[in-house]
Every structure is written in structure tokens, then in C-alpha cells.
Chains A and B, each alone.
Chain A
Amino acid sequence: MLSFDVRDKDDKNDKVNYVVETNNLCVSYGKNQILKDFSCRFPVNQIIGIVGANGSGKSTLVKALMRIVPIEKGKILIFGEENIRKIRQRIAYLPQRNNVDWDFPASVLDVVLMGFYKQVPWYKPFRKKHKALALSYLEKVQMVDFANKHISELSGGQQQRVFLARAFAQEPDLLILDEPLVGVDAYTEKIIVELLQELKKQGKSILMIHHHVETFKDYFDYLLMLKDGKKVAFGKTEDIFNDETLYQVFGFRQITL
């Protein structure tokens, strides 16, 4: 495969090679501009890490991709399409775990069922068929025994696995995850990473926000390094991840690795 990031002018039929493209994207919260003229092209069928210190605009970027936060300026193309309505059903988004009300009266199964929103219109209830299917996705994340448990009874790692099952239930071509490995146990981390690699083998694309510097090289084919809403580096992990970029983004150098 060619590296896509070095070429600036492409043929039109090259478009399909990018799962996400952003052009001069600006996003603000109130008076604070979080993303500043952000342009980047994410190649298709890769596991891409979005990394940076707190407040660097990682979450804002993925929320802007899903149009959860409004775009101030610029353009986003996903699967070459600007209208999110046309491609939304091909994307699964996994929000940060702590932004959710875990005391809500719902069972694990109820949460996974949300992933079948495409199959069942909003005014209709789910059927047995979907419940059986939901169980099979819970099996994938080794949570099938918890199906009827209340969501507050789960540990952090188990909650994250339920979220992943929900995302898998959507059968996405692009999976966007906001810090899925924060506060989860090692076992859960292993399950999640393996499932993401399996998705990649099926030809899907993965964008993931991640914190642990030590695992960047193991988990990601590509890396986007952000600082203060600006792109510091983007490219294949082995090409761009080094002491220099690490220092630019996080302010420290790696001691060993």
C-alpha cells in the first residue's frame, strides 16, 4: 500500500481510499476555538489512533465527525460524502463511558439492543429475533451471562464491553471510539484490542482516542498527534512516532522503548 498522507493532489477515483477527510475544520465551544483549521485524511481499513494531551481537541474532533457538536467552518467527508444523514448508518460511535447515566433503569440487553436501531424504526419495539442477535454480540465480548443484569452492577471494563457489543451490533464500516481503554481491566483491554483487529481484517476502519503512550506502537497502524487543536503529526505510527513528536505533543521524552 502506498502511504496516502504524502500526496496532496489525487485523482478523483482515489477518493475511496480515505474513510474520513477533513478540510480546514474549525470547531468552537462558546468563545474557545477547540479545533483550528484542522485538515487531515484518514486512510481506509486501518486502526488509527488519535492522541494528545487533555484539551488537545481529540474528543471534539470525533464529536464533530458525528456532528454531535456543530461545525463552525470547514468540511468533513466520510466515505466521500459530506451529508452525514446519508452515511450515518455505516458509522458506529462509542462515547466516553462516564458521559452516560449508569443508574438508568435498563438491563445490559437493553443497551445492546440500541445497536439495532437501523432494523427497527423508532416507533416499534424490538422482537425476539433482535434479542437473540443481541445475545450473540454479548457472547463476542464475553458478557452473555450478564444480559439481564442491571447496568449499574457492571465494572468499568464490563460496561465498556457492553458498549462495544452495541457498536458491533450496528455492523459499522467505520468504528469511532472515544477512550475505550480508560479505567478498564487488562482482560477487557485484550478483548477490545483483539476485536478491533478482527474488524480490521474484515475491511473496516477504526478511529480510536487513546492515552497510553506505551501501547501506541502495538495498537495503531496510523497515528494522529494533536496539540491545542492543531495537527502535530499524522502518518504511519512507525514513521511519525518518535521522541521528537512525543515531546511536542506531551512535553516529555520516552525513557525506554
Chain B
Amino acid sequence: MINFWYVLIGASLIAATAGIVGVWLVLRREALRGDVVSHSVLAGICTAFLAYREKNGWILLLGASVSAWLSLWTMDFLQAHTKLKKDTIMALILSFFFAVGLWILVKIQSLNNSAKSGLDSFLFGKTASLLPQDIFVALIVFFLVAIINLFVKKWLFWATFDEEYSESIGYSVKFVRNIVTFMSIVSIVMGLQAVGVVLMSALLITPATIALVLSPKNLSNTFLWSICVNVFVVLIGTLISYFFPKSPTGPWIVIFCSLLAFGVFAMKKNR
């Protein structure tokens, strides 16, 4: 029973983190960038596992960060040095890194290692498989993201709203881009365990979109809504995952959250 509460707390932390970061991704029009990152981290996670042969949160986080950074760097490089369109580049990079990740994942599954169990939950997500040490990592990541937002909020806000003005007063836009990338990588790596690689971007984007529809005027309220919606849907998904271990959590969460979003859009449209 204690494990059950652990899982609930861990899932809530993951959801709250994704809720905060998602708002920035939506406001900065980087939703698809988030999708590329979440698909590419699988390669990093699996490589890190292959190297250390254990499912240690920190090591997986390191591997994920490296592959996420690599995918973003490749994307920016292609954009700067080719005439390819942005969406083409994103589709290209996403599928390449995801393919690499899947390839390594299949390799791992053919290995004889007891620790490999649970790694496949990165694909479709399984919150019930959260371990106490994962929850510790989730807690730290949540506090990190919360503290960044508390202290750098003005900077994030200004550089997102008005890039040129922000540069003109010496508030670097590049710094904000890096901060947002950093926050999305850590929140994606945490969220993977809840909904899996394929659906991770939905966990970031959908609650943030709902929040922006519900509170289009006040940024603080947008954050509150986004966090609340995300925690709510993730908790429901977790309960399902706990009581019906055979059903995949990720799809449950995303379907539920998307239906909620459609409902909110329809409701607001009528007004």
C-alpha cells in the first residue's frame, strides 16, 4: 500500500513538472520541438542502460540529455546550413533518432538481464512501475523546474513575448531558449515513465493548451490550470494502471486528456 502512495506522489510530481514546462513550449511555439526531443531520448536512455546495465534514474537522465541535445543540435545545424523546411527537418530527425532508440531497445530485450524489465515501459508508459528512487529524481526535477520558474519567470516571459525588446535591454533570448530546452529535457525524461516516448509530447502540450484556453489573460493562472489539469489526468491514468496492470497507461492518459481538451475547446467556442 505504501508503494501505491509512492506512485501517486511520483506521478503527480511528473505531471506538475510537465504542466509547467508545457506552457512555455506552447507559448514559444516549440510544441513540435518537444515531440522531437521526447522521441529522441529513447536512444539515449537505451544506450545509457546498455553501458551501465542498470535502471538508475540519474544515468538514464544523462543518456537522455545527450541524445536530446544531439537531436536539437542536428536540427539547428540542418536549418542553418540547408534550405530544407523546418517541419521536414523535424520529421527527419524525429524518425531517425526514434529508429535508433527502437533498434537498441530490441537489442536490450534480447539480452539476459533481469534489470531490463521495466525498460519497455518507456515506450508506452507505466506509472505503476515507478520505483522509490524514480520518485526521488522526480522530486528534484520538480523543484528545479519550479525554482527556475520562480526566479527566471520575468526573463522567460519577456524573451517569449517580445524577443527584440528583450535583447535590447540585455535579456538574452538564447539563454531563455537554453533554459526551456533544459527544462523540457528533464521533464520529458521524467514523464516518459508515465506515458512513454510516443505520447510524451501530449503530456506537455495538451494540458498547457487547455490552460491557455481557460486562462488566456493571466500567466500565473495559466500555470495553475496547466498543473491542475495535468495532475488530474495523470492521477486517473495511474489509478487505471494500478488496478488494471495489463492496460497501457500512456494511451489512457492521453485519450482522457485530449477528450477533456476537446470539451473545453467546444465549451469556449460557444461563448
Contact = CB atoms under 8 A, between A and B. Distances in A.
Interface stretch (A8-16, A47-55, A87-95): A87-95
Contact of A107 (B162, B215, B217): B217
B26 to A, nearest CB: 10
**Candidate in A104, A152, A166 with the most chain B CB atoms within 10 angstroms:** A104
A150 B216 contact: yes
Interface string A78-94: 00000001001001011
Contacts of B219: 105-106, 110
A117 B216 CA distance: 24
A107 B160 contact: no
Contact of A104 (B161, B164, B170): B161
A187 interface: no
A105 B154 contact: no
Given A85-B170, A103-B216, A105-B215, A68 B164 contact: yes
B168 interface: yes
**Candidate in A63, A67, A106, A170 with the most chain B CB atoms within 10 angstroms:** A106
B222 to A, nearest CB: 5
B121 to A, nearest CB: 35
Interface string B181-217: 0000000000000000000000000000000100111
A114 B155 CA distance: 10
B168 A68 contact: yes
Interface string A96-127: 10011101111100110010010000110100
B169 A104 contact: no
Interface string B102-133: 00000000000000000000000000000000
B168 to A, nearest CB: 4
A66 interface: yes
A104 to B, nearest CB: 4
B164 A88 contact: no
Nearest to A65: B168
Contacts of A91: 168
A105 B168 contact: no
B212 to A, nearest CB: 7
A66 B157 contact: no
Interface residues of B, number: 26
Nearest to B221: A105
Nearest to B211: A105
B187 to A, nearest CB: 20
Contact of B27 (A104, A114, A125): A104
Nearest to B29: A101
Contacts of A125: 154
Given A104-B161, A114-B158, A95 B152 contact: no
Contacts of B170: 85, 88
A122 B218 contact: no
A222 to B, nearest CB: 22
Interface residues of A, number: 30
Contacts of A88: 168-170
A150 B217 contact: yes
B218 A105 contact: yes
Contacts of B27: 101, 104-105
B163 interface: yes
B163 A99 contact: yes
B218 to A, nearest CB: 6
A101 B169 contact: no
Contacts of A117: 154, 169, 171
B5 interface: no
A170 B165 CA distance: 12
A125 B157 CA distance: 12
A100 B218 CA distance: 17
Nearest to B80: A30
Contacts of B164: 63, 66, 68, 93, 95-96, 99
B176 to A, nearest CB: 11
A163 B27 CA distance: 20
Contacts of A101: 27, 160-162
A106 B161 contact: yes
A216 to B, nearest CB: 25
Contacts of A95: 162, 164-165, 168
Given A85-B170, A170-B169, 10 more contacts: A66-B167, A68-B167, A88-B169, A95-B164, A105-B218, A105-B219, A105-B221, A106-B219, A117-B154, A123-B151
24 contacts: A91-B168, A99-B164, A100-B161, A100-B165, A101-B27, A103-B216, A105-B27, A105-B216, A105-B217, A105-B218, A105-B219, A105-B221, A110-B157, A110-B219, A111-B161, A114-B162, A117-B169, A122-B152, A122-B154, A122-B155, A123-B154, A125-B154, A166-B165, A170-B169
Interface of A: 63, 66-68, 85, 88, 91, 93-96, 99-101, 103-107, 110-111, 114, 117, 122-123, 125, 150, 152, 166, 170
